[in-house]
Amino acid sequence: MRERVLIIDDDERLAGMVSTYLTSRGFEVSCRADAVSGLAAAGAGGFDALLLDVMLPDLDGFEVLRRLRAAAGTAALPVLMLTARGEATDRIVGLEMGADDYLPKPFDPRELLARLRAVLRRVSLSSAGAGGGGEPALRFGRLVIDPGAREVRLDGERRELTSHQFNLLVALASRAGRVMSRDQMMEAVRGESLEAFDRSIDVHVSRIRAAIEDDPKDPRRILTVRGVGYVFADRLS
């Protein structure tokens, strides 16, 4: 079955070129040129990933992403953001709001394809080791991480994470008490190495903390080991 990709981008020429390229690589692609129709299409479901432009005529992509993450039906939809603004601050904002990856324009279609496939691989990890179906839930006091159902609950309340963030959490929690470097974390969820100083790991950990910590500014579950990486506490209440 072909994977379905939604593109929300008002640059119809670029969207058409990307659509043609991805279609030739085995994807089924739908395009929307504005935020409202894009949100409606995403909400209708059936898509495996979203390519989202930041600069849209009605709402900016950050607001679209916020609404997607707030809605139950689209909270876990993998999102790769596209923008002509390549500033690091924009990239960090997008990741903090729940984007799975970020690609500045202009880009090589081959890099887009590689990043899209990487995002989709992370989603499929639920049946390939990092979140495999049939794995028992990980229980840490009030926090329950269920790899099979791909759910995180704190005090019985479901906490929303992107697919990448969930896989990172499982990678850390399944190695509770052991320090993981940023490289090890990326290799565990993506199967590829990443530069150790890439700030995206820190951004994703910040988002995970916001979801599972009582006080994200004073974390008790995911601890920073300065100069090394992170460790998931093996004794929690």
Looking at the chain, list the stretches that DSSP marks H as alpha helix, in order from N- to C-terminal side: 12-24, 35-44, 61-70, 88-96, 109-124, 163-173, 182-190, 200-212
| Distance, CA of 27 to CA of 163 (rounded, Å) | 20
| Distance, CA of 62 to CA of 78 (rounded, Å) | 14
Same fold, 4-126 and 138-232: no
Q: Using DSSP, state whether 38 is helix, strand or coil.
A: helix
Q: What is the pLDDT of residue 89?
A: 72
Q: Using DSSP, state whether 167 is helix, strand or coil.
A: helix
Q: How confident is the model at residue 131 (pLDDT cuts 50, 70, 90)?
A: very low
Domain spans in the chain, listed from the N-terminal domain onward:
4-126, 138-232
Tell me: domain 138-232, CATH 1.10.10.10, correct?
yes
Q: Is residue 176 within 8 Å of residue 232, measured between CB atoms? A: yes
Q: At a CB cut-off of 8 Å and minimum separation 6, what does 149 contact?
A: none
Q: What percent of the chain has pLDDT over 90?
A: 44
What's the pTM value of the predicted model, to 2 decimals? Answer: 0.62
pLDDT of residue 127 exceeding 50: no
Tell me: domain 4-126, CATH 3.50.50.60, correct?
no
CA angle, 175 then 98 then 23, to 5°? 105
- Residue 93: which of 66, 119, 127 has the closest Cα? 66
pLDDT tens for residues 27-83? 999 999 999 999 999 999 899 999 999 999 999 999 999 899 888 788 888 899 998
